[in-house]
Amino acid sequence: MTSSPDPAAVWREFCSRIAEAGAAVLRDPAAAGPRNQAEGLRCLSRQLVFSVQDAVEFRDPDFPAFHRFDDDVTKWGGPNTDNNYLRCSIDPAGLYRLTADVAGCRNAILSLHEGDMQLGRYGVFSECSLHDLRLEDGRLEVMIGPDRPAGTANWMATNPEARHLAIRVYVCDWNADGVPDFYIERLDRTGDRPERLTVDRMAEALQEAAGWVEASIPFWLRFIEGIRERNGDNVLTPPLPAQGGADNIAYGGGFWNLGDDEAWLITFEPPEAFTWSIQTHTWPWFESGDLAHAQTSLNDTQAHADRDGVVRAVVCHQDPGVPNWIDTEGRPVGMCIYRWIGASDAPAAEGSVLPLAELRGHLPADHPTVTPDERRGVMAARRRGVHRRFRR
């Protein structure tokens, strides 16, 4: 009989791996500078929280529960600020029932995943949206398993490699769109409670969590570093699908590199789409910007379009007094991404860097002016929306 590992040794190994992973990340040349170092420490703590919770608390496919991530405080991999992200573990051989009251929900995408792309697990084996599914009086029921149960209206077929059910809930109007509570249960299990926790199980979970942190942060550092090296600064790429992303989402964007007195004017004709957005991600950590205290994103329910139908967004460090300000939060360098979601066309955004003092001359004469009081009102509503979405 094999004996269990020494619990103290398990903990020491875990702490040692995390300490070395953090030190390596903070030594990275991309992390140089006081602000990057501070945000690097925060990024490490956030990813550690996620990885430990995911491996310890949310890995039982017999008794699955949804783990929320990539929200206002736990961020990795350039999340969409208009999504509430959920996921749970599944056994691809099992049978599950997913239920929710989705009345008022704008949309949600359900996906069966192999795992996380930073671990080399890119597979997305089945995907559908609420618009594809049959609802009854706003109630959703989906069966998930290898075989379709008789009489089932909604079914997602599992692949032998599928390990997660992921849900992206679209919350575009942050103060009005429904945020459903999803519930999942395994129907073919025999026990009525999880197995008793063991040192072996905890050793396995902590090893997995440490491996996730070791892989994740360097992966995303190199990922966006590679994009910047290929495309340069203040250049926008056309909208294209991304490996590991949803088939119906096209991404474009680029990196700003701006002085205090400069603005990056981004213009586009909105696509014919379910929704679209433009938003910031931090360099080098690839987190979303501050959702509650800075206007770091805009979507089709929030942005102003001029009389000619064109959206004109202004990326700069100080408030330019226009409705579509994208706040850099004072970052000299950062990433700005636009997403066309469920679009039937793919217009490309265009950008130009100009002196902030000359911005008004590049806008239509009737382009609105936003006063400081008006901005404070917009931001107060934004904070309320964040608190509502994430139940803060």
pLDDT digits (tens, 9 = 90+) for 13-72: 999 999 999 999 999 999 999 999 999 999 999 999 999 999 999 999 999 999 999 999
Model pLDDT, residue 244: 58
CB-CB contact of 341 with 249 (8 Å) = yes
AA letter at 381: A
Question: Is the pLDDT reported for residue 242 higher than 80?
Answer: no
CA distances from 199 to 74, 204, 343, 363 (A): 27, 9, 49, 64
AA letter at 164: H
- Per DSSP, the residues of 202-263 read HHHHHHHHHHHHHHHHHHHHHHHHHHHHHH-BS-PPPPB--TTS-TTEEEEEEEEE--TTEE
d(CA 360, CA 169): 37
Q: Which of 370, 356, 373 is nearest to 317 (CA)?
A: 356
CB-CB contact of 315 with 73 (8 Å) = no
Q: Which of 239, 307, 242 is nearest to 273 (CA)?
A: 239
Q: What are the tens digits of pLDDT across the range 247-292? A: 788 999 999 999 999 999 999 999 999 999 999 999 999 999 999 9
Q: Which of 364, 253, 360, 375 is nearest to 309 (CA)?
A: 364
Average pLDDT of the segment spanning 136-150: 97
Q: What are the tens digits of pLDDT across the range 286-328? A: 999 999 999 999 999 999 999 999 999 999 999 999 999 999 9
Domain covering 61-193 in this structure, CATH number: 2.60.120
- CA angle (50, 122, 132) in 5-degree steps: 90
Q: Are strands 325-327 and 311-316 parallel, antiparallel or unpaired?
A: parallel
Question: Is the pLDDT reported for residue 1 higher than 60?
Answer: no
Q: What is the mean pLDDT of the chain?
A: 96
Domain range list for the chain:
1-59+195-226, 61-193, 232-390
Are 61-193 and 232-390 equal in CATH topology?
yes
Model pLDDT, residue 189: 87
Q: What stretch of H or E contains 41? A: helix 34-57
Q: What are the tens digits of pLDDT across the range 95-120? A: 999 999 999 999 999 999 999 999 99
What is the reported pTM?
A: 0.95
Domain covering 232-390 in this structure, CATH number: 2.60.120.1600
Query: Which residues does 15 contact at the CB level (< 8 Å), separation at least 6?
Result: none
For residue 50 the two structure tokens come to: 């996620």
